[in-house]
Amino acid sequence: MILSWYHSGMELTDFRAFVAVAEELHFGRAAGRIGMQQPPLSRLIQRVEREMGVRLFERTNRRVELTPAGKVLLERGRRVIEQAELAINATQRAARGETGSLAVGFVGSATYGVLPEILRAFRKRYPEVELVLYEMGSTAQQRAVAEGRLQLGFIRTPREQAGRDESLAETVVQREPLVVALPKDHALWRHPRCVVTPHTAGGSPRRADRIVDTFCENLRRLRDGRPLVALIDKQKGY
């Protein structure tokens, strides 16, 4: 039905003009409502009737009434206008990024900090955007964002300067203090430049010892002004 009206030459502005006259049943009030002069509005309605081959209104000197055909067009015309407005609104929202889906990467530890709060606020503000979450390491996230598989990622550590992709932008969303866990009899416990927080946790003792030893070595290197060594050895897997 809408397609046949369109081919007959009826456009969205015609629908708006017709619905205004049909609801007001007064050409003067309808013209003021849509910002037209009455004579052009009368000619527009006459053109629509002529192109459709039906009478939409019965006109007398005292009143304007809808014909049975006009009542049908009023019902359908309201739907056309509503659907058009919904389509325009949806298009504008999509252009503003308020609909669609967003692929987000995150490191597992982010779920204990800032990530849940950010996701709640985002979903409240953009309820029609689907969030697709992927847990992965920081390096993998950077690669995925650069390749377009992620739109953004939450990483734990700053990106390395060497070989960094300048097409990626970053911003700090949270800063946290760094705490090292040491045995009470460790030599670094009494180091004058260290603030040590006792902590008990499970995990691999060997891996923990390697991390602590490397961290302590870096503290000594910082004290002596020497270059630091990597805390994580990718070749050894820790």
Instruction: Look over the chain and give the mean of its residue pLDDT values, rounded to a whole number.
Output: 78
pLDDT, tens digit (0-9, with 9 covering 90-100), for 83-115: 999 888 888 888 887 778 889 999 888 888 788
pLDDT, tens digit (0-9, with 9 covering 90-100), for 33-80: 999 999 999 999 999 999 999 999 998 888 999 999 999 999 999 999
Label residue 233 by pLDDT band (50, 70, 90). very low
Strand 64-66 with 57-59, pairing: antiparallel
Please, what is the Cα angle at 67 between 64 and 68, to 5 degrees? Answer: 150
Q: Which domains does the chain have, with CATH numbers?
A: 2-95 (1.10.10.10), 97-176 (3.40.190.10), 177-238 (no CATH)
Query: Residue 23, Cβ neighbours under 10 Å: how many?
Result: 14
Phi-psi region of 178 (alpha: psi -120 to 50; beta: other; left: phi over 0): beta
Crossing angle of the two packed helices 27-34 and 38-52, in degrees rounded to 10? 100
Q: How much is the pTM?
A: 0.49
Check residues 124 and 238 and name the one with the higher pLDDT: 124
